[in-house]
Amino acid sequence: MKHIFLLALICFSSFFYAQDDIISKIEAIGIIEQKVMMPMRDGIRLATDIYRPKTDQKVPIIFSRTPYNFNSYGDGELRTGTMTRAYEAIQKGYAYVVQNERGRYFSEGEWDILGTPLTDGYDAFSWMKNQPWSNGKIGTLGCSSTAEWQMAVAALDHPSHAAMVPQGFGAGVGKVGRFYEQGNWYRGGAEQMLFFAWLYGVQHDPMAPRLKEGIEREDLLRLQRFYDMSPEYPSVDWADKLWHLPLQDLIKNVNGPKGIFEEMITRKPNDPKWFEGGIYHEDKEIGVPSYWFVSWYDVSTAPNLELYNHVSKNTKDPAIRDNQYLVIAPTLHCGFTRATENTIVGERSVGDARLDYDALVYGWFDYWLKGEKNDILKTPKVQYYLMGKNEWKSSEVFPPKNAQMETFYLSSGGKANTLNGDGQLLKNASKKDMPDAYAYDPMNPVTSYGGNVCCTGNAVKGGAFDQREMETRDDILVYTSEELTSGIEVTGFIESTIYVSTDVKDTDFTIKLIDVYPDGTAYNLDETIQRARYREGYDKEVFMEEGNVYKVEMSPMSTSNFFEKGHKIRIEISSSNFPRFARNLNTGGNNFDEKVGKVAHNKIHHSEKYPSLIKIPVVKEPGE
């Protein structure tokens, strides 16, 4: 026990020594101003830390706004990363400004996930540009929650917002093109449960103690050294607790904080509240040159790419439209810099996926914030990682211009259930409809195994995993192509249409794209879901009737994968992927306030009359 205590003490001391060391490095070359209370137009003040070079020259600003704790003392979750980024920025001639969102930690006001006023961002830009040390040029930077607010604020077109670098920005995407995500809350009308776990540790309980508004900065500087307002949330076994019903009581069931979750869980995809606050929708005009960073195994890959294309094609100002750049890495959420010589995503090695991200980010900011005439605009508009071949590729657009959609039709003798069934992917539709049937029991759902996920604690591990064990379930339909006679690159959006019938008013349908190796290993690439009641649009609910066959267009998937010669293309179809997505209880009711589900007896039809199919973007080499 004594040895364990000493080891813990050494680790504890080493951490704070390292922390003091980075602060000393910053103080040697920069000026630190912490707990600057930046005023908003309504009088609310946002807690802000400023790190800037020791110079008489005016400097550009890299600005990061976050809901997380960046306090440089005590338990600040982001303290080490924040200080490291600040040091790097100062070395490169930038001021680094980090700010808590309204209602978070030392910032005043009430917090609302992506619902804080857009004017907070605009007011922050105005305050920063007017500082005597600022050159008036501001770039925004961050991943996930530090990225998701950037797009909607960029639509306000503040004259000082000169460039942005959003990374893993899916929760800022509302309605764009074929996606009605509402900040990643939904996919295909089904709730993504990552927010259920995430909000447990982020939302503020209205009964929690807060500092009084108007407190002096001198007092804040003293308080931050021993009181950082960071609640200690007990750890939760989300692999168990996400099973709780009804959904609306999920956080209550673990004695979690009260907050915005109780209201959000009741919202439908077209609720007007989704169109208030900080979520970006396609009717907004982006006014900022942008370098976008996306991951193949992120929770929001396809919607992120849809947004990139929307901005690149539809922005009215050609100077903005033509200065949108994109990187897509083969990593998990915000995992760009964690790529190594042998990058493992889940169980699959995707090779040496490293890229000099700092050179891209600072090259971008140097050009737009400092006016340096570097070569950043000569980099390819799109850099994407081709898994399977394990190499970086480039294109001027996404998908590449030489990508052509190829269609595979679902076919079987009516027994596509499990890996050992007779499901096939064929070039032509079958003449006769021999539907595949399975029972979906929401009390025994198909569990998530790998995939494009984040933020669910121990409930789901993200990435590529061998799906064969999952494919022994009778409620998973498996459709597999013949062995490929030559390798093919599949890069772009994967579109799928299925014809379905059921004996319940409402149910879900899921689909998963898989690369099958010659030895049978089956690695998942992407997945999606569609709630049947929203098959005709998210502005209305249309229930099903037993005996009828319905066409369901699935939300697109996306990937870049080289299927080598001898490999096979496979899709799985089922009605649940839990807990990545909330279970449909099949009643046709609200779902969020229900505890008892119904078993749905679902069928997938496939024939010339009911051409269930998948379209994949195959990149053709010149001359093919």
Interatomic CA distance for residues 19 and 68, integer angstroms: 18
Of 556, 554, 560, 555, the closest CA to residue 618 belongs to 560
pLDDT at 7: 42
Residue 431, classified by CB atoms within 10 Å of its CB into exposed (0-12), middle (13-18) or buried (19+), is exposed
What percent of the chain has a predicted confidence (pLDDT) above 70?
Answer: 95
Side chain identity at residue 495, one-letter code: E
pTM of the predicted model as reported, rounded to 2 decimal places: 0.95
Contact in structure between 224 and 71 (CB atoms under 8 Å) = yes
pLDDT-based confidence at residue 12 (cuts at 50, 70, 90): very low
pLDDT-based confidence at residue 78 (cuts at 50, 70, 90): low
DSSP-derived secondary structure for 458-508: TS---BB-B-TTGGGSTT-EEEEPPPPSS-EEEEEEEEEEEEEE-SSS--E
- List pLDDT tens digits, range 256-315: 999 999 999 999 999 999 998 889 999 999 999 999 999 999 999 999 999 999 999 999
Interatomic CA distance for residues 186 and 534, integer angstroms: 12
pLDDT at 74: 65
Instruction: Judge whether residue 15 has pLDDT over 50.
Output: no
DSSP-derived secondary structure for 538-561: TTS-----TT--EEEEPPPEEEEE
What residues form DSSP beta bridges with 404? 618
Contact in structure between 87 and 157 (CB atoms under 8 Å) = no
Instruction: Judge whether residue 17 has pLDDT over 80.
Output: no
- Residue 214 tokens read as 């108007």
- List pLDDT tens digits, range 36-47: 999 999 999 999
Instruction: Judge whether residue 589 has pLDDT over 70.
Output: yes
Identify the DSSP state of 411. E
- Residue 38 tokens read as 């930046």
Of 181, 416, 383, the closest CA to residue 300 belongs to 181
pLDDT-based confidence at residue 114 (cuts at 50, 70, 90): confident
pLDDT at 220: 92
pLDDT-based confidence at residue 75 (cuts at 50, 70, 90): low
- List pLDDT tens digits, range 349-399: 999 999 999 999 999 999 999 999 999 999 999 999 999 999 999 999 999
Q: What is the mean pLDDT of residues 547-566?
A: 98
What percent of the chain has a predicted confidence (pLDDT) above 90?
Answer: 87
Interatomic CA distance for residues 8 and 10, integer angstroms: 5
How does the average pLDDT of the chain come out, rounded? 94
Instruction: Judge whether residue 18 has pLDDT over 60.
Output: no
3-state secondary structure of 438: strand
Residue 622, classified by CB atoms within 10 Å of its CB into exposed (0-12), middle (13-18) or buried (19+), is exposed
Q: How far is CA 165 from CA 90, 453, 487, in A?
A: 18, 22, 35
- Residue 124 tokens read as 């922050």
Contact in structure between 487 and 494 (CB atoms under 8 Å) = no
Residues 284, 288, 289, CA angle at the centre, nearest 5°?
A: 130
Contact in structure between 259 and 293 (CB atoms under 8 Å) = no
3-state secondary structure of 226: coil
pLDDT-based confidence at residue 23 (cuts at 50, 70, 90): confident
Interatomic CA distance for residues 72 and 76, integer angstroms: 6
pLDDT at 5: 39
Instruction: Judge whether residue 11 has pLDDT over 60.
Output: no
| Topology given in CATH for the domain delimited by 403-619 | Jelly Rolls (2.60.120)
- Residue 537 tokens read as 């649009």
What residues form DSSP beta bridges with 526? 513
CA 467 to chain CA centroid, nearest Å: 23
Q: How far is CA 590 from CA 51, 70, 193, 357, 595, in A?
A: 49, 39, 16, 44, 11
- Residue 482 tokens read as 């013949």
pLDDT at 590: 97
Contact in structure between 606 and 415 (CB atoms under 8 Å) = no
- Residue 268 tokens read as 């439908």
pLDDT-based confidence at residue 77 (cuts at 50, 70, 90): low
Domain ranges of the chain: 25-318, 403-619
- Residue, of 208 and 303, whose pLDDT is higher: 303
Contact in structure between 145 and 166 (CB atoms under 8 Å) = no
The correct answer on CATH 3.40.50 for the domain covering 25-318 is yes
Quickly count: other Cβ atoms within 10 Å of residue 552's Cβ. Answer: 21
CA 554 to chain CA centroid, nearest Å: 19
Interatomic CA distance for residues 482 and 480, integer angstroms: 7
pLDDT at 623: 59
Instruction: Judge whether residue 35 has pLDDT over 60.
Output: yes
- Residue, of 93 and 13, whose pLDDT is higher: 93
pLDDT at 71: 86
pLDDT-based confidence at residue 228 (cuts at 50, 70, 90): confident
pLDDT at 277: 82
Asked if the peptide bond before residue 579 counts as cis, ω within 30 degrees of 0, the response is yes
Q: For CA atoms 270, 276, 280, 286, give the dihedral sign.
A: positive
- Residue 173 tokens read as 């995407």
Contact in structure between 465 and 609 (CB atoms under 8 Å) = no
Q: What is the CA radius of gyration of the chain?
A: 25
Asked if the peptide bond before residue 246 counts as cis, ω within 30 degrees of 0, the response is yes
25-318 with 403-619: one CATH topology? no
Q: How far is CA 365 from CA 134, 285, 324, 370, in A?
A: 15, 21, 13, 7
Quickly count: other Cβ atoms within 10 Å of residue 15's Cβ. Answer: 12
